[in-house]
């Protein structure tokens, strides 16, 4: 008898590694297949014309890194979930900004990827004028309600997603892989310590405004003589960013790759704008300068469960396949983690 099939829809490298961790708890009993993130209709056409290569649905660096990861880890690839579409019992996805048509008749588990974008003018256009969710980036995460359940990082995020319109009965605080055991990052081989880390963003590459000169000068001011290390966003224009840093903060070290979590673990201070790195820094007790207030960041901090989120989410998926009669109350009683586990 053949194994039941599950589809994992990946995105950035962070999202892809989250999906892979979940699949590793299911692969002995289920036939697990992977695809990069994909869309339908005119968004699909934009991707084909390479007009949106800076997004996870485009053909740029995000997709190249994801496909390379599939190859390195010998994962089974079903492009756009088309080969076995009628056979999938369940789909895991890293985002609901776009929910492909060919999974909408299936059970869907949406997994929070990390920080969501701030609520800009575009967010309110989506909320009140019903523009496509993707037009406001990840600020609209969870608003589709097209998923069966949404696995999230903390009680703070539950409040945030409900305020934005997510169905409360579909939200389950499971913790999220990559953010549920961050103290392990203290054990690392990154050679520097006691510096100011600046984690840059790809705001300019994704058509948002950022005053980079102001950010760099703020870093120099906050550092008060400490070494400054810049970790550039993987989607960033490296040449332009490097020239700016060398001009306004000469002597700074610049990293374009490497383990960002290790860099956070060894720093004294983190400066960023709106990035998932603040979630790691907050748990590790670092001094953080970002666009979030300390109170908001404290509420959003991901629950810590010694790295068991992937296993818990996989059990939830298994339950949806094997015990379809289980009701929402039973699901919540079995899979909800309590915020008290956080610290």
pTM for the structure as a whole? 0.90
Cβ atoms of residues 151 and 111 within 8 Å: yes
Distance between CA atoms of 109 and 104, rounded to whole angstroms?
Answer: 11
- The reported pLDDT for the residue numbered 342 is 45
Helix segments in 49-84, DSSP class H = 61-72
Q: Is the dihedral of CA 133, 137, 142, 147 positive or negative?
A: positive
H or E element, residue 266: helix 260-266
H or E element, residue 131: none
Cβ atoms of residues 117 and 133 within 8 Å: no
Per-10-residue mean pLDDT for the chain, 343 residues long? 94 95 98 97 92 88 93 97 96 97 97 91 92 91 97 96 96 96 96 96 80 95 96 89 96 94 97 90 94 90 95 98 94 81 45
Q: Which residue has the tokens 């996870």?
A: 56
Distance between CA atoms of 112 and 281, rounded to whole angstroms?
Answer: 18
Residues 6+ apart with CB under 8 A from 156: 296, 298, 299, 300, 301
- The reported pLDDT for the residue numbered 277 is 92
- The reported pLDDT for the residue numbered 339 is 56
Tens of pLDDT, residues 28-78: 999 999 999 999 999 999 999 998 888 899 988 889 999 999 999 999 999
Distance between CA atoms of 256 and 247, rounded to whole angstroms?
Answer: 17
- The reported pLDDT for the residue numbered 113 is 94
- The reported pLDDT for the residue numbered 341 is 45
How far apart, in Å, do the first and last CA atoms of the chain sit? 45
- The reported pLDDT for the residue numbered 338 is 67
């Amino acid at each position: 008898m053949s194994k039941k099939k599950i589809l994992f829809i990946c995105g950035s490298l962070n999202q892809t590694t989250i999906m892979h961790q979940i699949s590793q708890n299911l692969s002995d009993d289920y036939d697990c297949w992977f695809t990069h993130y994909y869309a339908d209709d005119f968004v699909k056409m934009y991707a084909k014309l390479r007009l949106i290569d800076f997004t996870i649905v485009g053909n740029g660096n995000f997709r190249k890194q994801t496909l390379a990861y599939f190859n390195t880890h010998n994962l089974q690839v079903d492009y756009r979930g088309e080969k076995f579409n009628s056979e999938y019992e369940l789909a895991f996805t890293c985002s609901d900004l776009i929910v492909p048509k060919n999974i909408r008749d299936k059970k869907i588990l949406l997994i929070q990827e990390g920080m969501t974008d701030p609520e800009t003018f575009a967010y309110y256009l989506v909320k009140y004028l019903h523009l496509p969710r993707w037009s406001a980036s990840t600020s609209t995460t969870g608003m589709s309600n097209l998923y069966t359940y949404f696995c999230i990082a903390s009680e703070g995020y539950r409040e945030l997603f409900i305020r934005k319109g997510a169905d409360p009965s579909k939200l389950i605080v499971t913790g999220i892989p990559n953010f549920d055991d961050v103290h392990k990052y203290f054990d690392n081989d990154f050679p520097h310590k006691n510096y100011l880390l600046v984690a840059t963003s790809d705001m300019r590459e994704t058509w948002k405004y950022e005053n980079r000169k102001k950010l760099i000068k703020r870093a120099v001011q906050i550092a008060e003589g400490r070494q400054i290390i810049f970790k550039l966003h993987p989607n960033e224009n490296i040449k332009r960013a490097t020239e700016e840093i060398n001009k306004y903060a000469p002597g700074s070290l610049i990293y374009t790759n490497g383990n960002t979590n290790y860099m956070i673990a060894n720093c004294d201070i983190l400066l960023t704008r709106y990035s998932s790195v603040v979630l790691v820094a907050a748990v590790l007790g670092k001094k953080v300068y970002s666009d979030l207030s300390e109170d908001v960041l404290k509420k959003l901090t991901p629950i810590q469960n010694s790295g068991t989120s992937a296993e818990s989410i996989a059990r939830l998926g298994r339950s949806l396949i094997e015990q379809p009669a289980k009701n929402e109350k039973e699901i919540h009683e079995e899979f909800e983690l309590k915020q008290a586990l956080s610290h």
